[in-house]
């Protein structure tokens, strides 16, 4: 199975994470609920950084709302 997605201009890490997301979404749509994902450490590091930044942003917004 092949697919193509236009990401526009982005860094390679973003493109890799889009590929991971698209692959997992495709598997989910096909009814697969147990999937083995193999990637390298750089991809995992980028994903951790994105999640960490999202959590930090959310916490900052919550703190501003309660101030």
Measure the CA–CA gap between 13 and 3, rounded to whole angstroms: 18
Sign of the torsion formed by the C-alpha atoms of 7, 47, 39 and 11: positive
Residue pLDDT, tens place only, 4-58:
667 677 777 677 777 888 888 889 899 998 988 887 777 777 777 887 887 788 7
């Amino acid at each position: 199975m092949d697919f193509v997605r236009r990401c526009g201009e982005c860094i390679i890490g973003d493109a890799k994470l889009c590929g991971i997301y698209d692959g997992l979404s495709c598997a989910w749509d096909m009814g697969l609920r147990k999937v083995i994902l193999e990637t390298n450490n750089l991809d995992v590091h980028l994903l951790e950084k994105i999640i960490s930044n999202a959590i930090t942003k959310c916490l900052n917004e919550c703190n501003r709302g309660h101030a």
